[in-house]
Structure 1
Amino acid sequence: MVGVSGGVDSAVSLLLLQRRGVQVGGLFMKNWEEEGEGCRAEEDRRDALKVCAQLGVPFQSANFADEYWKGVFEHFIAEYRAGRTPNPDVLCNREIKFRSFLDHARALGAGRIATGHYARIDRVGDRFRLLRGRDAGKDQSYFLHALGQEALSATEFPIGELEKSAVRRLAEEARLPVHAKRDSTGICFIGERDFRSFLSRYLPATPGEIRDPAGCVLGEHPGVFYFTLGQREGLQLGGLRGRPQAPWFVVGKDVERNILYVDQGHDSRWLFSRKLQASQASWTAGAPPAGRFACTAKTRYRQQDVDCEVEIGESGRLDVRFAAPQRAVTPGQSVVFYVQDECLGGAVIDATDAPALAKQEAA
């Protein structure tokens, strides 16, 4: 059973499996009930149906909106309310696409599932490994790091060996109706809508002060939870008297006092850290490779890997030390670990050793 999203990647995944002689079906997942501005769910469902009809494979749809709300969205809102910046794609993959979808596909009689992710899976002995996709610019292993052995053993990524350009070319040669459809961007349930406007429906605006690292008040923000570390947009701080004409960036948040801290310069020292603490670890092999090990890691999608050392405490808490300072490492996001092409797993960032602005101001 192929998870068909209405996009070109899942369509070509279906095509490649069919060409291999695999008995395939397509299933469209509806994970969000709301329609309207910015939501393309119905358009995507029709496109997925067209692809299946052209290839002559059975098409079905399933509504996982309730599972998505409970397993992904409630966590998303709770994290923003706490002043953190969650990554819903990681939870969606673990809870919906490779749990609810897998269970549903098995109930329909499918032995395996496939999706249009740019990643690869191989097997070494009795262990399945998650590998980066061949297209380094499209690799999605970062978002898949929470998958365990059960999901990996039952999953295929048919386009994982291909470059995006080759996927487009295959779709065009097969005259698939989605061959030129643009890729979806952003968080799935927000679509093309303004992020702050959407979030304000669940987290009402709570205006507070914008301060610089020394504690000087520069302006007012609509709510600290609307901003994330390293963010430049939406601060509206241009032309401050006595300040250089340089962009401002978010460098810290004090949720309890509702203060947003900003500084000028992309490489402000307040944004850099060498260490982080993380929890809620997921390991693709079911366990970490050792209690202490060296590897590479990234703290956001499409970031370059950086060398690091990982130490795991008795409670499962991770201490990660980087070989070089890292910019805007953000609580709520994921730190994901690699050894060359293999993704070992990852964890949720809790804190870093970046300079503590509230303590600096108090001093």
Structure 2
Amino acid sequence: MRVLAAMSGGVDSAVAAARMVEAGHDVVGVHLALSRNPQSYRSGARGCCTIEDSRDARRAADVIGIPFYIWDMAERFAADVVDDFVAEYAAGRTPNPCLRCNEKIKFSAVLERALALDFDAVATGHYAQIVDTPDGRELHRAVDPAKDQSYVLGVLNQEQLAHAFFPLGDTPKTEIRAEAERRGLSVAAKPDSHDICFIADGNTEGFLSKQLGEAPGDIVDAQGNKLGEHKGTHGFTVGQRKGLKIGTPAADGKPRFVLDISPVDRRVTVGSRAELAVERLTASKPRWCGPAPTETLHVKAQLRAHGEEIAVTARVVDDRVLVEFDEPADAVAPGQAVVLYDGTRVIGSATIDSVERATQHV
């Protein structure tokens, strides 16, 4: 097969490309230039898509012995990922930009271009597994639970999975670094990137403030009593405990958490941990990795990239996904993705629109 290997400049994508060559495929490496103003050097493990990263990717391609190109996708990334991220926060929601990048960039824009150039598939360094079955391809969790990235790949449909390879899904991360060193790849000890790649300093609130400006409002309790003030709702996420800057302590002396964010009236509502508990949610824009479910599902759900599995009952009604938790879940926020699993198999994902709290029935 002719395979396009997406090479970020990190150890995972470099080893993934090398494994595809070793498997006998005709491989071409490509680095995605996603930043309009790339930094010369990254700051430790923060950020990506720097000039340094592109050079690391090129050096890895030279060692592996494959052609290498850089594709400028900065405008597409800005429109589909960065602008979406800012707009979601402005609306009081909590988006996952990595999930959106996989959906819109790596397995939409890149795959479309690859197929147009007569490639058969795209390979990445994601930690997940693809299993071929008589009914099509299935997306499964990686064997290394600490590195599993199936959550952010839950947006991929059957057509995209048919043209995807994840060569690292069957291997623990510690072995990948050792393999990179054996292959003579200089990125073997390079730190993994983390946090949001386009916010290199990790200051999400500062980034959003530059984009959205200040919009002062009140911090209130569930009864509407004013407890403090803020400079913008975009500085908060549901479930947040630190940085609330409330001068008045709670009556019971226990910590308070963000329960709700309302940009329209600029209110941030806080309350106790018990008030965070959610019994059910409604989600929209489902993306199914296989056929859409037609029956009620008794499965597991994951609500954050590194969150734990939760037992749920899920139904699809008029292109919406209704999810009820077996036990109440904490800090479930509109804008997050709910990804459904049957064992290790990813069924699909949807974007959370609304939640119903357990305290609404008390």
Q: Normalising by the residue count of structure 2, what TM-score does the alignment of the two structures yield?
A: 0.92
Aligned length: 352
- For 1:206-232, what per-residue CA distance to the aligned partner results, in whole angstroms no more than 9, with x for missing partners? 111112233332221111122111112
- Tell me, in whole angstroms, the C-alpha distance in 1 between the residues paired with 2:59 and 2:254: 50
1:24 match: secondary structure: strand
Q: Which amino acid aligns with 2:293?
A: P
> Which of 173, 178, 184 is equivalent to 2:182?
173
Are the counterparts in 2 of residues 237 and 248 from structure 1 also a CA contact under 8 Å? no
On the 8 A contact 1:30/1:65 being kept in 2, the answer is: yes
Structure 2, gaps ≥5 residues long: none
Whether the 8 Å contact between 1:185 and 1:191 is mirrored in structure 2 is no
Match of 2:244 in 1: 235
The AA in structure 2 aligned to 1:272 is A
The letter of the residue matching 1:225 is H
Distance in 2 of aligned mates of 1:189 and 1:298: 24
Map 1:95-244 to 2 at 5 A. 95-237=104-246, 240=248
Name 1:249's counterpart in structure 2.
Answer: 257
- 2:32 is equivalent to residue 29 of structure 1: yes
Q: Confirm or deny: 8 A CA contact 1:249 1:263 kept in the other structure.
A: yes
Q: How many Å apart are 1:76 and its aligned residue?
A: 1.9
CA deviation after TM superposition for structure 1 residue 52, in Å: 0.7
Q: 2:58 aligns with which of 49, 58, 66?
A: 49
Partner residue in 1 for 2:313: 309
Q: Where does residue 323 of structure 1 map in the other structure?
A: 326
Instruction: Give the fraction of aligned pairs with identical amino acids, expressed as a percent.
Output: 37
Check 1:242–1:189 CA distance in 2 against 1; reply closer, same or farther (3 A cut): closer
Partner of 1:8 in structure 2? 11
Residue 259, structure 1, aligned to residue 263, structure 2: no
Map Cα deviations across residues 316-356 of structure 1 (whole Å, 9 max, x no partner).
Answer: 11211110000011100000001001000010001111168
Alpha-carbon shift at residue 79 of structure 1 (Å): 1.3
Matched to 1:32, the amino acid is: S
Taking the aligned partners of 1:274 and 1:236, their CA distance within structure 2 comes to: 29
Tell me the residue number matched to 2:282: 277
Partner of 1:290: 294
Query: Could you say if the C-alpha distance between residues 84 and 242 of structure 1 is closer, same or farther in structure 2, counting changes exceeding 3 Å?
Result: closer
Contact 2:257 2:276 in 1 (8 A): no
Pairwise CA distance, 1:243: 5.4
Q: Within 2, Cα distance between the matches of 1:221 and 1:35?
A: 32
CA gap 1:275/1:35 in 2 versus in 1, 3 angstroms = same
Q: Deviation at 1:150?
A: 1.4
Which letter maps to 1:262? V
Tell me what 2:350 maps to: 347
Amino acid at match of 1:65: A
Superimposed CA distance per residue, residues 172-213 of structure 1 (whole angstroms, 9 cap, x where no aligned partner): 222211011111011121123411111112211111111223
What displacement does 1:244 show? 6.1
Q: CA RMSD in A?
A: 2.0
User: Which residue of structure 1 lines up, in the alignment, with residue 101 of structure 2?
Assistant: 92
**Counterparts of 2:115 and 2:163 in 1: how far apart (Å)?**
10
- Segments of 5+ residues of structure 1 without an aligned counterpart are none
The Cα shift of 1:23 comes to: 2.0
For the Cα contact (< 8 Å) 2:218–2:267, is it kept in 1? yes
What code does the residue aligned with 2:286 have? A
Cα distance 1:241–1:262, how it changes in 2: closer, same or farther (>3 A)? closer
